[in-house]
Amino acid sequence: MTGLSRRDFLKLSAILPAALAASHLTPGLLQPPRPNVILILFDAMSARNLSLYGYPRPTTPNLQRFAQRATVFHNHHSAGNFTVPGTASLLTGLYPWTHRAINMAGLMKRSLTPHNLFHTTSSAYHRFAFSQNLWANHIFNQFNQDLDTILPPDSFAAFSQVIGKALPNDLNAAYRSTDDFLFQDDDPPASLLLGLSERLAYQRSLAHLQQQANDYPLGLPATGLLPIAFRLDHLFQGLAQTLPALPTPFIAYCHLWSVHEPYRPHRDFFDRFKNDNFSPIEKPRHPLGGKNPPQKVANRRKLYDEYIASADHYFGLLLDALQNTGLLDTSYLIVTADHGECFERGTLRHITPLLFEPLVHIPLLISAPGQRQRVDVHTPTNSIDLLPTLAALTGNPIPDWAEGSPLPTLGGSPDPQRVTFSVEAKSNSSFERLRKVSVAMYKGPYKLTYYTSSDYNFFELYNLETDPEELNNLIDSQPALAKDLQNELLRHLQQANAGYA
């Protein structure tokens, strides 16, 4: 290589100070570009039903393909067992007993709304949010001052009768007073006149759509909170076209209704697991659980698994599209869920006080820009960890109010003895002490769950390493360990209730 002449050196010496000054004026000039962040959230996707994590049915071949270039978290839990607390904790880095979004269709404590993922991201980022689930919209509409783009929940829909989006000045009030109150698919609807009229019109339109498209044997996928019907191919194609068109760098939160009930698999996956001879472990009914017969539970599980396989197929097409546009090489791609789903102990779905693993053990996969090899993390993590992790990865300070920690291998260190929590408190006022509450505390291999109300008060203790199906309650056989863990959990609950009457 030819060396620099004295004249070249003098020219470079004259230019360098100006270049350095310019780099301060335009910070990205001599620095690598900031990474994009794409967060894909599958509503109600339990890690326990994914072949990625060892489930016997081959439900997720494309997630497994994605895992070969991602960090896979095996012991990741949601801070709540349904959409509101699970989503709010992911977006705030706070536990439900702190942010207080604990009720059905609930909202965060108003004074904490600046404590959110979009606010902690640099203003250099374009901040984008889309959710098919109205309850998630309620949460991030509280952060609208920190968002640049909010897509309405019926974006990419095959058919929609959403009313509230026409009143953008106050979307939460609009959705609550129209779609969430007058037209919600409840029994009976809140407004007998308007609700029944809307329902008849929606069913007529759905029937017409179904005649045109027979590739969903149980009907088109639909959301339970809003009159929206959609096709998985249109949904994922819409995301594949929308994400590359966003101004860069961007952070995109995409909350998908699938694989939430109603479970409506595509024709290519319907009945795929009908005769596979899979027989899950029979578990006793729980005193706080449901009373559904085993055959009904098995049938619903089959449909759920087939719906997961359908969503996984179209996620694979989205993954290919992101690869082809180059976004995978410039973005963190995150796949996770807000909570899980239950098909055991006579209990279906997730509207329950129970906190067994199918309800709160959720997937988490994160692919860094250009990552090519798989990394597996088995130490405990929680949905509250995403906010501090993403703050650090996008070059921003981790806020001191965040209750989570940076994820291992992504700025954090493994801590096998770390304590984390999942909380269910939907029957309480968000302005008062939590009196009817379920709390699961994770520490090492142990999971201690506390169920308490005016009618019951008891603990359950499981060793998830030796008893992953939670069949052997150790509360009586290991009294010393149980007592120590109980005292620790009660201390945290007491701190959470401090300041509330």
**Choice between 11 and 242, residue whose per-residue pLDDT is larger:** 242
Judge whether 490 lies within some domain: no
User: Distance between CA 88 and CA 84 in Å, rounded?
Assistant: 6
342 forms bridges with which residues in the sheet?
Answer: 349
Angle between helices 83-92 and 386-393 in degrees, nearest 10: 30
User: Distance between CA 34 and CA 39 in Å, rounded?
Assistant: 16
User: Distance between CA 463 and CA 238 in Å, rounded?
Assistant: 43
Query: Is 49 a residue whose pLDDT tops 50?
Result: yes
Judge whether 172 lies within some domain: no
Judge whether 18 lies within some domain: no
Judge whether 364 lies within some domain: yes
Question: Is the N-terminal amide bond of 168 cis, ω within 30° of 0?
Answer: no
For CA atoms 140, 499, 355, 290, the dihedral sign is negative
The label of the residue with tokens 């959301």 reads 223
User: Distance between CA 272 and CA 276 in Å, rounded?
Assistant: 8
Kindly list the distances between the CA atom of residue 452 and the CA atoms of 353, 356, 427, 435, in Å, as whole numbers in the listed order: 10, 15, 12, 7
Q: What's residue 227's pLDDT?
A: 83
Kindly list the distances between the CA atom of residue 438 and the CA atoms of 45, 333, 350, 391, 490, in Å, as whole numbers in the listed order: 21, 32, 13, 30, 12
* Total number of domains in the chain: 1
Judge whether 477 lies within some domain: no
Query: Is 294 a residue whose pLDDT tops 90?
Result: yes
pLDDT, tens digit, for every residue of 73-125? 999 999 999 999 999 999 999 999 999 999 998 999 999 999 999 999 878 99
List the beta strands (DSSP E) in 67-203: 71-73, 76-77, 126-131, 149-151, 159-160
Judge whether 312 lies within some domain: yes
Read off the tokens for 218. Answer: 């149980």
Q: Which CATH number characterizes residue 292's domain?
A: 3.40.720.10
The angle subtended at Cα 191 by Cα 189 and Cα 192, nearest 5°, is 75
Q: What's residue 121's pLDDT?
A: 87
Read off the tokens for 460. Answer: 């359950």
User: Distance between CA 48 and CA 56 in Å, rounded?
Assistant: 10
User: pTM, whole model, 2 decimals?
Assistant: 0.90
Average pLDDT of 322-328? 96
Q: What are the respective helix, strand and coil percentages of the chain, to the nearest 5? A: 35, 15, 45
Judge whether 339 lies within some domain: yes
At 195, the pLDDT band (50, 70, 90 cuts) reads low
Read off the tokens for 214. Answer: 């027979």
Where is 449: in which H helix or E strand? strand 446-452
Kindly list the distances between the CA atom of residue 398 and the CA atoms of 35, 290, 403, 443, in Å, as whole numbers in the listed order: 17, 41, 10, 24
For 59, the domain range is 32-158+213-408
At 184, the pLDDT band (50, 70, 90 cuts) reads low
Judge whether 271 lies within some domain: yes
